[in-house]
Amino acid sequence: MFTTNPFFELSGLISPLAMQVYVIAMVILVAGGTLLDTLHKKSARYFFENTEKQKKSASRQVSGGEKVAIAVKTLAVDVLASGEFCNQRRRVAHLLGMYGFVLFVVTTAILIFGYAESAAPAILPVLWHVGALLVCIGGYWFWFAIRVDVSAEGHPWYRVMRADLFILSLLATATFALLWSVFAATFFFVLFIAAATVLFGTVLWSKFAHMFFKPAAAFHKRVTKADGSRENLPEVPDLTDPAVHARYPDIPEYLGINPPNMGLGIKREAPSHY
């Protein structure tokens, strides 16, 4: 089963051209949704204006070589290793979902555009299934075990909000893809396509676009630290620090945080616009 290309089996029912057109349409939806999200939230304008302001307060000039080194560090720490998470469980769950999603999407494109009408190397279907499994492991672990423990959110697993659209549609896409591959049932294929369409077609309303904004925000933050302009920003205290609770006892209650069981999992930094 894991070495079988499900899209090759599907080509007897749906033409490879139709599959390829669908993939291209999803790419266009993601690009269009991300662009609209940027315009709606004015993210690009914010970064441009903020960069200009911070250049004026910079204490030193960051060279091109330094920026390249910062970009490499941002890629290695913030992107590839999800360095913004200090809670190890949440970081591992995020990495499983992220790498699984990338593997799943890339192998889907290769199988559809390269092997929808011919036998594929056995490793490609294996990687496709592994990618979907990693998404399910990381995603369900987050949804049922980690999300409900985050005191800042405190939502039971069955309470769904609009912000959950991305993770739920992603989980549905990976789950129904696996079920379709295992049972070769048209019913699961239809659900797989429906979930994928929701995932890629609702970028404007979900957190999908964050994966494009977060690296830019992380790079910008590192540059401002390097040129000294970030030193002029007010310090934001770590809300998990008991000393902060003792000094500001109303903060946890105001934010709906339970001090003895914080478990936020994300480092508190100055607010980022993404």
Encoded tokens for 191: 């659900």
- Please, what sign has the CA dihedral across residues 44, 49, 52, 54? negative
- For residue 261, pLDDT over 90 is answered with no
Q: How does residue 259 score in pLDDT terms, banded at 50, 70 and 90?
A: very low
How many Å apart are CA 126 and CA 86, to the nearest integer?
32
For the chain, percent of residues with pLDDT exceeding 90: 42
- DSSP designation for 117: S
Q: What residue type is assigned to position 32 of the chain?
A: G
Model pLDDT, residue 228: 79
Mean pLDDT of 70-94: 87
- What one-letter code names the amino acid at 257? I
Residue 142 is given by DSSP the state: I
Taking the C-alpha atoms of residue 87 and residue 166, their distance in angstroms, rounded to an integer, is 21
Both tokens assigned to 130: 């592994």
Kindly state the average pLDDT of the residues 35-46: 72
Q: What are the pLDDT digits (tens) for 118-173? A: 889 999 999 999 999 999 999 999 998 887 665 445 567 677 777 788 999 999 99
Tell me, what's the pLDDT at 123?
A: 96
Residues 99-117 have pLDDT tens digits of: 999 999 999 999 999 999 8
Higher pLDDT, 235 or 84: 84
Of 31-35, 165-169, 232-236, the least confident? 232-236
- Token reading at 182: 């295992």
Confidence of residue 253 (pLDDT cuts 50, 70, 90): very low
CA–CA–CA angle 136, 137, 141 (5° rounding) = 110
CB 75 within 8 A of CB 216: no
Q: Provide the residue ranges of all domains of the chain, joining segments of one domain with +.
A: 6-53+62-227
Residue pair 244/251 in contact (Cβ under 8 Å)? The answer is yes
All residues at 6 or more sequence positions from 123 whose CB lies less than 8 Å from its CB, including other chains: none
The CATH number for 6-53+62-227, chosen from 1.20.950, 3.40.720, 1.10.1760, 1.10.10, is 1.20.950
**Residue 212 pLDDT:** 72
43-68: pLDDT as tens digits: 666 666 766 777 777 778 888 898 89
Poorest-pLDDT segment among 151-155, 217-221, 226-230:
151-155
